[in-house]
């Protein structure tokens, strides 16, 4: 049979055809800043955020290192579909470019920023980018709890809940 070409075409069950953008494909097929298996502890992260669960279909973990007010390193692992993997990968790139993003700016990253940077996501994949954004927030929250304020169980619980 003949060659199918290189562009993966996906059709959802409503019959809408859509294509992943080249940026999504690049990050999906060549993920950036991936946390290698077994090196999680060696990385000595200042903050770690985990959102979603495999039962929901997506789980993302982001590890960050912080120096003064900047994120100087960021690694991730994702269980999920193509756009979930691409969303986390592109987010790590956004955070690390130009010598690292200031924490206050990182907290301002929205799902829309991730989608724009990916050159768009199909409508039913928007939640993937939302999860990336939440994982980064959770990682920053974790860093704050560990190094900035002394957390009590009560405040920690409510803050985490809010950030999710």
Segment 89 to 128, residues that bind other proteins, using CB under 8 A: 124-125, 127
Instruction: State the minimum distance, in angstroms, from the CB of residue 145 to other proteins.
Output: 20
**For residues 132 and 80, what is the distance between their CA atoms, to the nearest angstrom?**
11
* Cα angle 142, 28, 82; round to 5: 80
Give yes or no for a contact between 131 and 84, defined as CB atoms under 8 angstroms apart: yes
DSSP summary character for residue 38: T
Q: Is 56 a catalytic residue?
A: yes
14 scored as a contact of other proteins (CB under 8 A): yes
Among the listed residues 10, 19, 56, 149, the single catalytic one is: 56
Q: Which helix (H) or strand (E) holds 145?
A: none
Exposed, middle or buried by CB within 10 Å (0-12, 13-18, 19+), for 22? exposed
Question: How many Cβ atoms sit within 10 Å of the Cβ of residue 106?
Answer: 23
Among 22, 36, 102, 112, binds other proteins (CB under 8 A): 36
Among the listed residues 128, 131, 138, 139, the single catalytic one is: 128
Among 85, 121, 131, 136, binds other proteins (CB under 8 A): 85
Instruction: State the minimum distance, in angstroms, from the CB of residue 152 to other proteins.
Output: 28
Residues of this chain that bind other proteins (CB under 8 A): 1-4, 6, 8, 10, 12-14, 20, 28-31, 34, 36-37, 50, 53-61, 77-82, 84-85, 124-125, 127
The set of catalytic residues is 56, 128
């Amino acid at each position: 049979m003949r060659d199918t070409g290189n562009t993966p075409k996906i059709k959802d069950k409503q019959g809408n055809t859509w294509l992943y953008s080249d940026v999504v494909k690049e990050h999906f097929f060549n993920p950036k800043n991936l946390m290698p298996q077994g090196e999680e502890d060696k990385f000595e992260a200042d903050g770690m955020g985990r959102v979603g669960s495999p039962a929901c279909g997506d789980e993302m973990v982001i590890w960050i290192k912080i120096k003064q007010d900047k994120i100087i390193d960021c690694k991730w692992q994702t269980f999920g579909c193509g756009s979930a993997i691409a969303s986390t990968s592109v987010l790590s790139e956004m955070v690390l470019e130009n010598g690292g993003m200031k924490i206050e700016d990182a907290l301002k990253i929205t799902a829309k920023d991730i989608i724009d940077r990916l050159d768009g996501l199909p409508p039913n994949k928007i939640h993937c980018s939302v999860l990336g954004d939440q994982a980064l927030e959770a990682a920053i929250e974790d860093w704050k709890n560990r190094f900035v304020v002394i957390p009590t169980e009560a405040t920690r619980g409510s803050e985490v809940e809010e950030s999710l």
